[in-house]
Amino acid sequence: MSVLEMKRVSRTYGVGAAEVHALHDVDLTVDAGVMVAVMGPSGSGKSTLLTIAGSLEEPSSGEVRVCGEELTKLSRNAKARLRRRSIGYVFQDFNLLPGLTAAENVALPLELDGVSARKARIAALASLDELGLGERAASFPDQLSGGERQRVAIARAVVGERQLLLADEPSGALDSVNGEGVMRLIHAACKRGVAAVVVTHDAQLASWADRVVFLRDGRVTDQTLPAPGPESLLTQGPGQ
Amino acid sequence: MSVRHALLALLSEGPKYGLQLREEFEARTGEVWPLNVGQVYTTLQRLERDGLVESDGDDQAGPQKGFRITAAGAQELTAWLRTPSDLSSPPRDELVMKVLVALRVPGTSVRDVIQVHRRYLVELMQQWTRIKETEVEGSESDVSLGLVVDAELFRLDAVVRWLDAADSRIKRAAAEPVLAEKATAEKATAEKATAEKATGTTQAVPRVRRRLGARK
Is a pLDDT exceeding 80 seen at residue B25? yes
Band (pLDDT 50/70/90 cuts) for residue B192 is low
What pLDDT does residue A158 have? 86
Among the partner residues B115, B126, B161, nearest to A222 by beta-carbon distance: B115
Percent of chain A with pLDDT over 70: 94
The lowest-confidence range among A149-158, A173-182, B5-14 is A173-182
- Distance between CA atoms of residues A211 and A219, nearest Å: 16
pLDDT score recorded for residue A203: 94
CATH of the domain at A16: 3.40.50.300
Interface predicted TM-score of the whole assembly (ipTM), two decimals? 0.84
User: Nearest Cα to A56, choosing from A113, A11, A105?
Assistant: A11
Please answer yes or no on whether B160 and A207 come within 8 Å at the CB atom: no
Count other Cβ atoms within 10 Å, centred on residue A33: 16
Residue B206: φ, ψ to 5°:
-55, -35
Q: B93 vs B7, which has greater pLDDT?
A: B7
Which backbone phi and psi does B115 adopt, to 5 degrees?
-65, -40
Residue A184 lies in a domain: yes
Residue B136 banded pLDDT, cuts 50, 70, 90: low
> CA B22, B18, B132 angle in degrees (round to 5)?
10
Average pLDDT of span A100-110: 93
Neighboring chain B residues of A216 at a CB cutoff of 8 Å: 111, 115
In a domain, A187, yes or no: yes
Measure the CA–CA gap between A204 and A198, rounded to whole angstroms: 12
Ranking A16-20, A123-127, B194-198 by mean pLDDT, the lowest is B194-198
Instruction: Give the Cα separation of A47 and A85 in Å (integer).
Output: 21
Domain residues of chain B, as ranges?
3-81, 94-212
Q: CB under 8 Å to B178, separation ≥6 — which residues?
A: none
The CA distance from B105 to B192, in Å, is: 19
Q: What would the pLDDT profile of B159-189 be if each residue is shown by its tens digit?
A: 999 999 999 899 888 877 655 565 566 666 6
Mean pLDDT value of segment A186-195:
91
A106 assigned to some structural domain: no
Mean pLDDT across the stretch A135-139?
A: 93
**pLDDT (0 to 100) of residue A67:** 93
Choose the most confident range, by mean pLDDT, from B80-89, B125-134, B191-200: B125-134
Distances (CA, A) of B102 to B91, B106, B107, B114, B132: 19, 8, 9, 9, 35
Which is nearest to A165 in space by CA: A45, A27, A35, A57?
Answer: A35
What's the pLDDT score for residue B196? 47
Residue A137 belongs to some domain of the structure: no
| Window 28-47 of B, Cβ < 8 Å to A | 31-34
Distance CA B151, CA A233 (A): 14
Contacts of A183 (CB under 8 A, 6+ apart): A170, A171, A198, A205, A208
In which domain, by residue range, is A52 found?
Answer: 2-97+145-226
- Is B3-81 in CATH node 1.10.10.10? yes
Overall average pLDDT of the B30-59 stretch: 86
A131 assigned to some structural domain? no
Question: Does some domain include residue A110?
Answer: no
Tell me what the pLDDT averaged over chain A comes to: 89
Q: Which residue of B has its CA nearest to A226?
A: B123
**More confidently predicted of A143 and A239:** A143
3-state SS, chain B, equals: CCHHHHHHHHHCCCCEEHHHHHHHHHHHCCCCCCCCHHHHHHHHHHHHHCCCEEECCCCCCHHHCEEEECHHHHHHHHHHHCCCCCCCCCCCCHHHHHHHHHHHCCCCCHHHHHHHHHHHHHHHHHHHHHHHHHHHCCCHHHHHHHHHHHHHHHHHHHHHHHHHHHHHHHHHHHHCHHHHHHHHHHHHHHHHHHCCCCCHHHCHHHHHHHHHCCCC
- Predicted confidence at residue B215, as pLDDT, reads 46
Q: Measured between CB atoms, does A221 come within 8 Å of chain B? A: yes
With an 8 Å Cβ cutoff, is A207 touching chain B? yes
3-class SS of residue A119: helix
Cα A219 from Cα A214, distance rounded (Å): 8
What is the DSSP track for A129-193?
A: HHTT-GGGTT--GGGS-HHHHHHHHHHHHHSTT--EEEEESTTTT--HHHHHHHHHHHHHHHHTT
- Total domains present in chain A: 1
CA–CA separation, B70 and B61 (whole Å): 20
Given a cut of 70, whether residue B102 has pLDDT beyond it is yes
Position B182 scores a pLDDT of 59
pLDDT(B106) > 70: yes
Residues A147-175: tens digit of each pLDDT: 889 889 989 998 888 899 999 988 877 78
Secondary structure (3-state) at A234: helix
Query: What pLDDT, on a 0 to 100 scale, did the predictor assign at position A229?
Result: 63
Contact assignment for B122 to A212 by CB distance below 8 Å: yes
A93, part of any domain: yes
**Does A227 sit within 8 Å of B130, measured CB to CB?**
yes
Interface of B with A in 116-145 (CB under 8 A): 118-119, 121-134, 137
Q: Which pLDDT value is given to residue A62?
A: 95
Residues of B in contact with A39 (CB under 8 A): 122
Question: Residue A83 pLDDT more than 70?
Answer: yes
Residue B131 has a pLDDT of 86
pLDDT band at A227 (very low <50, low <70, confident <90, very high): low
At B81, the pLDDT band (50, 70, 90 cuts) reads: confident
Residue of A nearest to B134 (CA): A230
More confident of the two residues A95 and A222: A222
What pLDDT shows up at residue A231? 63
CA dihedral A106, A112, A118, A120 (to 10 degrees): -40
**A140, pLDDT greater than 90:** yes
Q: CB A3: neighbour CB atoms within 10 A?
A: 26
For residues A225 and A77, the model is more confident at: A77
Residue A206 domain flag? yes
Chain A residues with beta carbon closer than 8 angstroms to that of B149: none
SS3 A232: helix
Residue A236 burial by Cβ neighbours in a 10 Å radius (0-12, 13-18, 19+): exposed
- Which of the two residues, A3 and A188, has the higher pLDDT score? A3
Is residue A26 within 8 Å of A10, Cβ to Cβ?
Answer: yes
CA distance B63 to B49: 19
Q: Which chain A residues are Cβ-neighbours of B165 within 8 angstroms?
A: none
Instruction: Give pTM, 2 decimals.
Output: 0.77
| B7, B37 contact by CB (below 8 A) | no
